[in-house]
Amino acid sequence: MNVSFFTIVAILCLQTLSTCIISNIGQYIYSFYLQTYAFTSNDILNLTNNTLLSSVDDFNISNKDPEQCSNSVSNEADAWAQQQSADLFSKIGLWRSGPMIIMTCILGLYMSRLGKRFVLILSMIGIAIQVLIWLTIIYFQLPEYWWYVAGFIVGLTGGEAVLHLVLNLFIIDCTKKNDRSTRFVLLEAMTTTLTAMTDFGIGYYIAWNGFADLLWASFILQLISIFVVFLFFNYSSPATVVSPPNQTTSPLLSLTEGNNDIRTKESCCSTSSCRKFADVCTVFCRRGRSKIKSTNILLTLFAYIFYSLAYTAILSIFLWYQLDAPFCWSSTQIGNYDALASITCAIFSVLGMKLLTYVGANDAFICALSHVFFCGLSIWFAFARQSWQLYASLLISPFVDYQNSLTWSMMSKWLEPNEYTIVFTLITIIYTICSILGNSFFNWIYALTVVALPKLMFFLAAGLCVIPFILNM
């Protein structure tokens, strides 16, 4: 193991910065559709793409006047822009979900053969290509289907889900068993702090100079990450390399540890493939494990699935919620809120966990309590009408995500050490399915209901969260 922990931290920071930028693409899409509506409402119907998008370059959502937010024309424009944006996100999610789910399975199960470094670089290349296509869409006014192409390509390389899976495995490999919990908490606090500062700056930068420069910054961050991984992630593991690599292997093939395994007989490969998929299917029902442990594992798994769906229901439409009346927030306000949310979650979620642990609460009870907070938060959002009410929700939001952070801790108590990698991969696949397909589905529902029932998604999320609450009790 020749990977420095500080090198991993550097990659984690670079990817955190890039993810913060990428997550703001929704603001550009919304502003584009809002400006499109402004043109069409003035009966300027014969505009060329060049005219329309050049004006969008100078337009951002900070130009919205909050005092005009509630009039009928503005409401109609906001509703139309949200409907079109949510519909586009839904279609992008569909194009991305299929290849990403398949590639997450393949890359996760065959990582020992492909090598962690190769899989990590592949996911970074996919993200870089996606950002480059976005920039091309902005500069050359490409048709809408190019958004789908970008989503499909990033799905083929595994995207962010596989990237974080590999980084977590690298962190586990370079950390002693007794130090892993502390190190993961430290890294979570570090990335949360970095996210808060980045979101704060991005909000002001969008209001000042638009979106394109930020996307270029994200593209450059991906190139730097690829360069660092290629040079400094000289990884080899006795557990994953069957025989020494050929000394005459080309530099490109040296990215993949154990390439000589490809030369094994086809029948052996088929048997190995069947065994890998059989391990995934049977890992939760292994012989020799008590019935209580198997039941607890399955209950925790299904609680995680339904919580992920409920969380995705809110996350997928929360930007449109902030941009809609009666809030009509600008890029600056959104950045400030996201930064403050990251800081409060980083501080109060840890304090809450410490307090609940101190009074003797077990993991399942903590998760059940977090679902109560989640339901309350969802209903609070549904009835909020003023900006201060959104900021007041930050008193609740730090305590809603314990299911996500405790699922691994709970399962590790009932699994054997040799099952960790399989379960880690499977949970990554489940998260990918819930987040990608869920995001697409909930954006589709929101596009259909934004005019008549704009708050429906919050009640749906609260209802979904009742299921994991019951499963944890």
Confidence check: pLDDT of 26 > 70: yes
Confidence check: pLDDT of 25 > 70: yes
pLDDT of residue 68: 53
pLDDT of residue 53: 41
- pLDDT tens readout for residues 329-339: 888 899 899 89
- Determine the average pLDDT of the residues in 63-83: 65
In one-letter notation, the amino acid at residue 195 is: T
Confidence check: pLDDT of 65 > 90: no
Distance (Å, whole) CA 12 – CA 168: 10
**Residue 241: pLDDT band by 50, 70, 90 thresholds?**
very low
| Dihedrals phi, psi of 271, to nearest 5 degrees | -65, -45
pLDDT of residue 48: 39
**Residue 4: pLDDT band by 50, 70, 90 thresholds?**
confident
pLDDT of residue 163: 92
- Determine the average pLDDT of the residues in 159-181: 81
Confidence check: pLDDT of 257 > 60: no
- Determine the average pLDDT of the residues in 210-237: 88
Confidence check: pLDDT of 63 > 70: no
**Residue 275: pLDDT band by 50, 70, 90 thresholds?**
low
pLDDT of residue 240: 38
**If we measure between CA atoms, which residue out of 110, 125, 424, 428 comes closest to residue 256?**
110
Confidence check: pLDDT of 372 > 80: yes
To the nearest whole number, what is the mean pLDDT of the chain? Answer: 80
Share of the chain above pLDDT 70, in %: 78
pLDDT of residue 70: 54
- Determine the average pLDDT of the residues in 75-104: 87
**If we measure between CA atoms, which residue out of 211, 255, 11, 259 comes closest to residue 127?**
11
Distance (Å, whole) CA 384 – CA 380: 6
- Determine the average pLDDT of the residues in 28-54: 59
**If we measure between CA atoms, which residue out of 414, 406, 426 comes closest to residue 294?**
414
Distance (Å, whole) CA 74 – CA 79: 8
CA distances from 131 to 108, 124, 143 (A): 24, 11, 16
Q: Which domains does the chain have, with CATH numbers?
A: 5-238+272-277+291-472 (1.20.1250.20)
Confidence check: pLDDT of 245 > 70: no
Tell me, what DSSP letter sits at residue 415?
A: S
- pLDDT tens readout for residues 298-344: 898 899 999 999 999 998 889 888 887 778 888 889 989 989 998 88
Confidence check: pLDDT of 271 > 60: no
Distance (Å, whole) CA 197 – CA 193: 6
Angle at CA 329, nearest 5°, toward 376 and 40? 120
**Residue 56: pLDDT band by 50, 70, 90 thresholds?**
very low
Share of the chain above pLDDT 90, in %: 33
pLDDT of residue 185: 66
415 or 138: which leads in pLDDT: 138
Confidence check: pLDDT of 467 > 90: yes
- For the whole model, what pTM was predicted? 0.77
**If we measure between CA atoms, which residue out of 329, 317, 331 comes closest to residue 89?**
317
**Residue 273: pLDDT band by 50, 70, 90 thresholds?**
low
296 or 14: which leads in pLDDT: 14
- Determine the average pLDDT of the residues in 96-122: 88
pLDDT of residue 288: 64
**If we measure between CA atoms, which residue out of 395, 397, 402 comes closest to residue 367?**
402
pLDDT of residue 261: 43
